[in-house]
């Protein structure tokens, strides 16, 4: 009996060491690939803004840019048609693989996701980098697992580590990457999953910071701590975010239904519509192009009128739906965080005008808006709390961030709202 116990301990130790070493390698590779992808997307968005600005000054460019958008949309559509695992965020696909319902060719997905993501953001679609980064990281993990010829279970651990590493590199958030793997992707706690995810995330974050620096993704200035007597406002904001999160999930599925209901729109042609909409948005309201990182910075560090915030919120929401519903590869993390930030900013302005709420705390509400909206939509409140804390560097607001996240999560649950990635995975599996 004693010998059997010792053998099991030694086997677990050997397996753990192997997983740690392989996960560290996954962290290095996934970190390099994900940060390269991140930098390319940032350059692509700068290019999109440049082109649309020149288009306004030179009207002869309109037909040229329109033709380029149609061609780019068609190319993306052809790639998506050739491999459905490339479509959309990528997170539902990874979750499907981990539960044994889906499969992917790791190097083909890696290459195709890279190309289509750069093209989509280069056109300015309202999509994020985090979902593709998670899938790219998982693809790297799968590749490493097959290189070392591990078991299927070990391969899934490495895919989980790669997914965590991808999120860590995308958002400078290693802890969130690790918790995301446990709370969202596996929905359970396992020491081996924790070891794999944490090893890969930390290494990936270290790699990413060599290229993008140590600053948090959202650099908020003059952040104070919301006084306890104002926490009633935080609770109300959480309820509002829950309602808005339910609307987001329903609208996202509806956007897919609208595209699918048009029989003349084939899988190859759907992205063309999204690309053309991006072309119009780029001329009319360029602030909502891309994921929306600069939009949050604008909210945090400049005075944006209430009317303008409402216009941007509606435009960003509809633009995100049209972009994602087309099946174009890209994530919804960043767009939904931006929408949450806008809701928080609008709410702050309204209670400031109506009830004399101290305007110096409005930036806090913007942060709370992101955390609560994430919790309502994704239904992973712990990930949301840690993610927003890491992305903003505002650790002093941990209590209020936790409160708004839990309120939004509980109220959205009371409304029978399902996690967005669970809904999207269900749709993918229904087509199999």
Tokens of 305: 């009128």
Last residue of a domain, which of 212, 242, 277? Answer: 212
Q: Which residue has the tokens 């602030």?
A: 287
Residues 173 and 128 in one domain: yes
Contact 89, 330 (CB under 8 A): yes
Token pair in block for residue 390: 């890491």
pLDDT at 251 over 90: yes
Is residue 33 predicted with pLDDT exceeding 60?
yes
Statement: residue 217 has pLDDT above 90: no
- Cβ atoms of residues 265 and 273 within 8 Å: yes
Residue 142's pLDDT band, with cuts at 50, 70 and 90, is very high
Q: What is the pLDDT confidence band of residue 1, given thresholds at 50, 70 and 90?
A: very low
| Residue 411 neighbours by CB under 8 Å, 6+ apart | 238, 239, 242, 243, 376
125 Cα distance to chain centroid: 14
> Does one domain contain both 10 and 110?
yes
Q: Is the pLDDT of residue 46 over 70?
A: yes
218 inside domain: no
**Are 232 and 206 found together in one domain?**
no
Confidence check: pLDDT of 115 > 80: yes
Span 329-336, average pLDDT: 94
pLDDT surpasses 70 at 9: no
Is position 223 within any domain?
A: no
Residue where a domain terminates, one of 212, 237, 263 = 212
Residue 221 lies in a domain: no
CA 266 to CA 278: how far, in whole Å?
A: 19
User: How many folded domains does the chain comprise?
Assistant: 2
Cα–Cα distance list, 109 to 2, 27, 346, 420 (Å): 47, 18, 39, 22
Residue 247 sits in the same domain as residue 305: yes
pLDDT at residue 116 in the model: 95
Residue 77: CATH number of its domain? 1.10.3080.10
In this structure, is residue 400 part of a structural domain?
A: yes
Q: Report which of 327, 256, 323 is spatially closest to residue 288, judged by C-alpha positions.
A: 323
Over residues 190-214, the mean pLDDT reads 90
Checking if the pLDDT of 14 tops 70, the result is no
Tell me if 402 sits within 8 A of 385, measured CB to CB.
yes
* Structure confidence by residue, pLDDT tens digits, 273-304: 999 999 999 999 999 999 888 899 888 887 88
Q: Final residue of a domain: which of 181, 212, 243?
A: 212
**How far is it, in rounded angstroms, from Cα 249 to Cα 136?**
24
Burial per residue of 65-74, b for 16 or more beta-carbon CB atoms within 10 angstroms, e otherwise: beebbbebbe
What counts of helices (H) and strands (E) characterise the chain?
Answer: 17, 0
- What does the alpha-carbon distance between residue 399 and residue 368 come to, in Å, rounded to a whole number? 10
- Residue 162 pLDDT greater than 80, yes or no: yes
Cα–Cα distance list, 199 to 267, 315, 370 (Å): 39, 40, 27
Q: How confident is the model at residue 92 (pLDDT cuts 50, 70, 90)?
A: very high
Tell me, yes or no, whether 175 and 236 share the same domain: no
- CA–CA distance, 362 with 359 (Å, rounded to integer): 5
- Within-domain flag for 248: yes
* Bigger pLDDT: 223 vs 391: 391
Per-residue pLDDT band at 13 (split at 50, 70, 90): low
Quote the pLDDT of residue 56.
87
Model pLDDT, residue 5? 53
DSSP E strands, 69-174: none
Judged by average pLDDT, the poorest of 153-157, 327-331, 346-350 is: 153-157
In this prediction, residue 383 has a pLDDT band, given cuts at 50, 70 and 90, of very high
For residues 232 and 207, state if they share a domain.
no
The beta strand positions in 135-188, using DSSP E, are none
Q: Report yes or no: 278 and 323 within 8 Å, Cβ to Cβ.
A: yes
Percent of the chain with pLDDT over 90: 74
Alpha carbon of residue 398 to chain centroid: 21
- pLDDT at residue 35 in the model: 95
Q: How far is the C-alpha of 309 from the C-alpha of 368, rounded, in Å?
A: 16
Domain containing 99 equals 2-212
**What average pLDDT does this structure show over 94-114?**
93
Q: In three state form, how does the secondary structure of 293-346 look?
A: HHHHHHHHHCCCCHHHHHHHHHHHHHHHHHHHHCCCCCECHHHHHHHHHHHHHH
- pLDDT score at 23: 92
Q: Examine residue 222 and state whether it is found in any structural domain, yes or no.
A: no
| pTM attached to this predicted model | 0.93
Read off the DSSP letter of residue 269: T
Tell me, yes or no, whether 68 and 202 share the same domain.
Answer: yes
Average pLDDT over residues 363-369: 95
Residues 201 and 236 in one domain: no
Per-residue pLDDT tens over the stretch 399-424: 999 999 999 999 999 999 999 999 99
Same domain, 330 and 196: no
* Among candidate residues 295, 382, 374, the one with its CA nearest the CA of residue 333: 374
- pLDDT band of 150, cuts 50, 70, 90: confident
Q: Are residues 21 and 96 in the same domain?
A: yes
Position 15 in a domain: yes
For range 243-248, the mean pLDDT: 97
**Mean of the per-residue pLDDT values of the chain:** 91
Residues 158 and 247 occupy one common structural domain: no
Residues 410 and 240: beta-carbon distance below 8 Å: no
Nearest CA among 156, 192, 138 for reference residue 18:
192
Return the closest-CA partner of residue 51 out of 36, 69, 35, 76.
69
- Shared domain for 180 and 233, answered yes or no, is no
In a domain, 122, yes or no: yes
């Amino acid at each position: 009996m004693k010998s059997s116990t010792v053998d099991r301990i030694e086997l677990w130790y050997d397996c753990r060491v192997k997983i740690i070493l392989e996960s560290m390698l996954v962290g290095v590779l996934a970190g390099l690939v994900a940060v390269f992808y991140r930098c390319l997307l940032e350059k692509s968005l700068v290019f999109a803004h440049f082109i649309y600005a020149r288009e306004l000054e030179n009207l002869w460019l309109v037909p040229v840019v329109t033709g380029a958008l149609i061609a780019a949309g068609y190319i993306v559509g052809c790639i998506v048609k050739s491999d459905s695992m490339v479509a959309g965020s990528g997170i539902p696909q990874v979750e499907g693989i981990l539960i044994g319902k889906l499969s992917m060719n790791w190097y083909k997905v890696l290459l195709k996701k890279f190309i289509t993501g750069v093209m989509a953001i280069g056109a300015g679609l309202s999509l994020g980098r985090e979902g593709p980064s998670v899938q790219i990281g998982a693809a790297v993990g799968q590749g490493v697992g097959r290189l070392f010829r591990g078991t299927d279970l070990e391969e899934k651990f490495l895919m989980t580590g790669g997914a965590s590493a991808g999120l860590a590199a995308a958002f400078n958030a290693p802890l969130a990457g690790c918790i995301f793997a446990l709370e969202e992707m596996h929905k359970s706690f396992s020491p081996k999953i924790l070891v794999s995810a944490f090893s890969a995330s930390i290494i990936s974050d270290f790699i990413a910071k060599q290229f993008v620096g140590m600053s948090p993704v959202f650099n908020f200035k003059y952040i104070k701590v919301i006084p306890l007597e104002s926490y009633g406002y935080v609770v109300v904001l959480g309820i509002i975010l829950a309602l808005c999160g339910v609307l987001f999930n329903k609208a996202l599925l509806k956007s897919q239904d609208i595209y699918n209901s048009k029989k003349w729109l084939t899988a190859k042609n759907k992205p063309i519509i999204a690309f053309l909409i991006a072309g119009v948005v780029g001329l009319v309201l360029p602030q909502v192009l891309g994921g929306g990182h600069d939009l949050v910075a604008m909210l945090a560090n400049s005075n944006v009128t209430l009317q303008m915030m409402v216009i941007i919120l509606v435009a960003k929401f509809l633009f995100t739906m049209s972009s994602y519903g087309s099946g174009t590869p890209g994530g919804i993390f960043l767009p939904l965080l931006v929408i949450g930030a806008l809701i928080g900013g609008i709410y702050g302005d309204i209670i400031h005008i109506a009830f004399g709420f101290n305007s110096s705390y409005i930036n806090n509400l913007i942060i709370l808006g992101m955390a609560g909206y994430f919790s309502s939509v994704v239904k992973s409140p712990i990930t949301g709390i840690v993610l927003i804390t890491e992305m903003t560097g505002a650790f002093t607001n941990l209590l209020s961030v936790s409160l708004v996240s839990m309120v939004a999560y509980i109220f959205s649950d009371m409304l029978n709202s399902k996690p967005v990635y669970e809904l999207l995975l269900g749709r993918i599996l229904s087509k199999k």
